[in-house]
Amino acid sequence: MGLLRFLPAPRRALILVATAFVMGLGFPRTDWEGVVWVALTPLIVEALRLPVRVAFGWGWLFGTVFYLVLLRWLDFTFNTYSSIPWPLTWGPTLALAGYCALYVAAFAAGISWLARRSIIWALCASPFLWVAGEWVRGHLFGGFPWGLLGYSQYLRLPVIQIAELGGVYAVSLLIVAVNAAITGCFVLAWRPALAGVALSGLLVGGTLAFGAWRLAAPAPPGEVNVAIMQPSIEQPLKFDPAFASTTMAIYLTLTSRAGAERPDLIVWPETAAPAPIRRDPELLRTLGALSGSLRVPLLVGSIDVDGSTPPKIRNSAFLLTERGIVGRYDKIKLVPFGEYVPLAGLIGFVRSWAEFIAELEPGSSASVFPGPPAPFGVVICYEGIFPELVREFVKGGARLIVNMTNDAWFGRTSGPWQHLAMYPFRAVEHRVAVVRAANTGVSAFIAPTGKIVRRIALYERTTAAERVPLRNGLTLYSRLGDWIAYLAIVVSGASLAARGWKRAA
């Protein structure tokens, strides 16, 4: 059963930990994306030879190390903005990594279960088991689809073009299929191993051929000029009343500078306004007058407070012209333990641990702004990491996607870069341009091919403008959504059920 079977358990454990660690470096900012094509191989080899419970344990260890490396930037947030003393600040990160690792553990256990009947069967099912786990993790308990394996390839444009067909899950499926084929070279006779390599080679070759073809396609007709700003305001100062006038001066100066580019739209970051726009008539008049003088609409992120009792607070985006507010979108997907506390009746006490934990009200619909300058959708903060939500905007007629965010909570860590890495996939999935305005970075313009055309470095205070194409038509993913993930769930369920039925028989 491969070379690992001849190694003592401590050395096998060391290999698993090392490969999990390196796989975590396959994501920004290290971007060792090539390692993910082989990093799962030792885990699959071990899962094939071990009992189900033992395979589950090794899978959980592998996953915990992987997610600890991937999510290491969270320690900065807890260390800087919470009352938890270091090194206990690693506790929440370890808990989240341990939860995400359960899906890797289930993947390993599933392979072990199927391998008791047929190793080839287990290897063929492994890509579907992995993708099914990714999809469930992205939806269960509100979902946390961070670090999907496919996201590691965001810089490899020929590879990620298949996201137009099956989303980021199609790329994850391909990566695990290659890992399974490599595993086959260690555990199978040469004929079936060669067949596996040939099949994975066809998949990779077809992916690259499709990618080259789509990258050579002409850009869709129609474009608009969009300006963004990155004000680079430190998180402790954003809502400090003593700094409010300085904050507004920065935004007004940057807006005037951006207006000099004659854009069709100027985008501010998430929660940019230092006070709720609808509760500040003077601020509203100032922005309306500025929009009128520049002759360009402003898209402004702001906290919104309604007049109910008790008041409901929302994270919103407002479209303003000289006529005032002409459009609004309220954030739907709130950040758990950031904008709300899950199971607040049981664990609401955690609000006292950190200043970044709020209690916001989610929006109810994916409202598309009709324009000007053209129909566009806005995803606020990490909403853009949910593929199905962006799809709702596209299905609603959005021809451009705008992401406004505030990643200042994560400082100069890899967190903002990992966040950015997911948006090329949203662009490719729908062949839509993505415009990203971030408070401290990373702001960017992303083409429908997924290419990051322009980006602004972390903590650089500046503006940028680009002409971006407007979406024209629907892709297969736009029409069918996560069909690859649904197929993976069906194949995984059917394989496990068939294995159970044959065992009972």
What's residue 415's pLDDT? 96
φ, ψ at 196 (rounded to 5°): -65, -40
Residue 85 lies in a domain: yes
Q: Which of 32, 56, 34 is nearest to 43 (CA)?
A: 56
pLDDT at 503: 64
Does residue 26 share a domain with residue 112? yes
**Pair (53, 149) in one structural domain:** yes
Any domain includes 133? yes
245 and 197 in a common domain: no
Domain span at residue 108 reads: 3-216+482-504
The per-residue pLDDT for 12 is: 84
| Residue 331 designated active-site | yes
pLDDT in tens, 427-481: 999 999 999 999 999 999 999 999 999 999 999 999 999 999 999 999 999 999 9
Does 124 lie in the same domain as 63? yes
127 shares its domain with 234? no
User: Do 153 and 51 share a structural domain?
Assistant: yes
Active-site residue (options: 331, 333, 361, 466) = 331
Q: What is the pLDDT of residues 209-250, one digit of tens each?
A: 999 999 999 888 899 999 999 999 998 888 888 999 999 999
Domain co-membership, 236 together with 125: no
Known catalytic membership, residue 270: yes
Query: Rounded to an integer, what distance in angstroms lies between the CA atom of residue 408 and that of residue 442?
Result: 10
- Which one of the listed residues 381, 392, 429, 466 is annotated catalytic? 381
Question: Do 60 and 176 have their domain in common?
Answer: yes
Helix axes 90-115, 483-504, angle to 10 degrees: 50
**Which residue type does 252 have?**
L
Check whether residue 191 and residue 291 sit in a common domain.
no
Tell me if 279 is assigned to some domain. yes
The answer to the question of residue 169 being in a domain is yes
- Scored b (16 or more CB within 10 A) or e, 95-124 reads ebbebbbbbbbbbbbbbbbbbeeebbbbbb
* Residue 200, both tokens: 């994975």
**Residues in the chain, overall count:** 505
Q: Are residues 28 and 105 in the same domain?
A: yes
Geometric angle at alpha carbon 123, from 169 and 185, rounded to 5°: 115
Indicate whether 477 belongs to any domain: no
210: buried, middle or exposed (CB in 10 Å: 19+, 13-18, 0-12)? middle
Total domains in the chain come to 2
Residue 462 domain-assigned (yes or no): yes
Q: What is the pLDDT of residue 336?
A: 81
Contact 207, 237 (CB under 8 A): no
Per-residue confidence (pLDDT) for residue 440, from 0 to 100: 96
333 is annotated as an active-site residue? no
Are 432 and 473 spatial neighbours (Cβ–Cβ below 8 Å)? no
Judge whether 39 and 30 are in contact, CB under 8 Å: no
- pTM reported for the whole predicted model: 0.94
Maximum C-alpha span of the chain: 78
pLDDT attached to residue 111: 98
Q: What is the structure's pLDDT at 1? A: 44
Using CA atoms, how far apart are residues 332 and 391, in angstroms rounded to an integer? 14
- For residue 160, give the amino acid letter: I
Rounded mean pLDDT for each run of 10 residues along the chain, 505 residues in total: 58 92 97 97 96 96 98 92 82 94 98 95 97 97 94 98 98 98 95 96 98 93 96 90 93 96 97 92 95 97 87 95 96 85 60 68 93 96 96 98 95 97 98 98 97 97 97 97 98 92 65
CB atoms within 10 A of CB 352: 10
Q: What is the pLDDT of residue 281?
A: 93
Q: In one letter, which amino acid is 40?
A: L
Say whether both 319 and 424 belong to one domain. Answer: yes
Is 355 part of a structural domain of the chain?
A: yes
> For residue 381, what is the domain's CATH number?
3.60.110.10
Indicate whether 202 and 227 sit together in one domain: no
Residue 47, in any domain of the structure? yes
Which one from 270, 339, 392, 429 is the annotated catalytic residue? 270
> Dihedral of the CA atoms 307, 309, 315, 317 (nearest 10)?
-20
